[in-house]
């Protein structure tokens, strides 16, 4: 199962998406995702108290916001983007964890902090920083992690705000590109796409191939996101 190559994972021709909502395994997984999201979002007073102030030093290692580039990417002015971000993120893709849970899916401290800052205070400037950083290139290992984290963050936000004006197709591309760069959460998301047959035929081998690196990392973590990754991977290999 695990010997499948990335090339093989891309070769499966996508057909009509199956009705994942009627899949019992999917429903079981959805309950786990929902439970983790509920825990992460419960007790708003505690969440408010625990919010950390942005750490200015992380932005020194990230690219500057390019608002014109952000407007072009979204196809709307910044004012409309900020208005969109005032609404709760409600993705039409049911098996995606909440933004609060996804906070555990980053490799670099800068990528994690930037995403947490956005989740605590959704704003177009942090979003523009993600987009700008995702477009950079580097041979430095830590810089590569920041780039991949920003790529995933920007993509998943498009997907999570898919009902409010986000571009789901663009988001999927960013997440896929981040997964190819071995980004922790992106490989998990790409694996779930193959597992549940999201816009493609379901394929357990491809699902396990994409998700295994995420599982190997999640196994060492203790948070809601790592629990979801581990549980989903077990579902795949023991299917």
Q: Where are the beta strands (DSSP E) in the chain?
A: none
Cα separation, 153 vs 113, in Å, equals 11
Q: What is the pLDDT of residues 126-167, one digit of tens each?
A: 999 999 999 999 999 999 999 999 999 999 999 999 999 999
Q: What is the pLDDT of residues 35-56, one digit of tens each?
A: 554 544 443 434 444 555 555 5
What is the value of pTM for the model shown?
0.80
Query: Residues near 31 by Cβ (< 8 Å), separated by ≥ 6?
Result: none
Cα separation, 217 vs 172, in Å, equals 22
Cα separation, 89 vs 157, in Å, equals 8
First CA to last CA across the chain, in angstroms? 12
CA angle 108–112–56, rounded 5-degree value = 95
Residue boundaries of the structural domains of the chain = 6-237
């Amino acid at each position: 199962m695990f010997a499948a190559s990335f090339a093989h994972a891309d070769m499966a021709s996508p057909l009509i998406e199956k009705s994942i909502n009627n899949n019992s395994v999917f429903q079981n997984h959805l309950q786990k995702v929902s439970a983790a999201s509920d825990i992460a979002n419960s007790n708003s007073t505690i969440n408010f108290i625990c919010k950390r102030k942005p750490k200015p030093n992380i932005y020194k290692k990230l690219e500057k916001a390019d608002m014109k580039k952000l407007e072009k990417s979204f196809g709307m002015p910044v004012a409309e983007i900020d208005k969109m971000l005032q609404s709760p993120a409600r993705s039409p893709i049911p098996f995606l964890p909440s933004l609060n849970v996804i906070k555990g899916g980053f490799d670099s401290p800068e990528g994690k902090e930037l995403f947490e800052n956005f989740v605590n205070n959704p704003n177009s400037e942090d979003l523009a920083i993600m987009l700008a950083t995702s477009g950079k290139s580097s041979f430095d290992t830590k810089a590569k992690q920041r780039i991949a984290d920003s790529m995933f963050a920007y993509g998943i936000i498009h997907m999570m705000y898919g009902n409010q004006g986000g571009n789901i197709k663009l988001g999927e591309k960013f997440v896929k590109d981040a997964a190819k760069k071995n980004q922790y959460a992106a490989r998990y998301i790409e694996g779930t796409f193959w597992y549940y047959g999201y816009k493609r035929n379901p394929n357990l081998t491809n699902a396990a191939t994409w998700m295994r690196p995420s599982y190997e990392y999640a196994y060492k973590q203790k948070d809601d996101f790592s629990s979801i990754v581990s549980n989903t991977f077990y579902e795949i290999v023991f299917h």
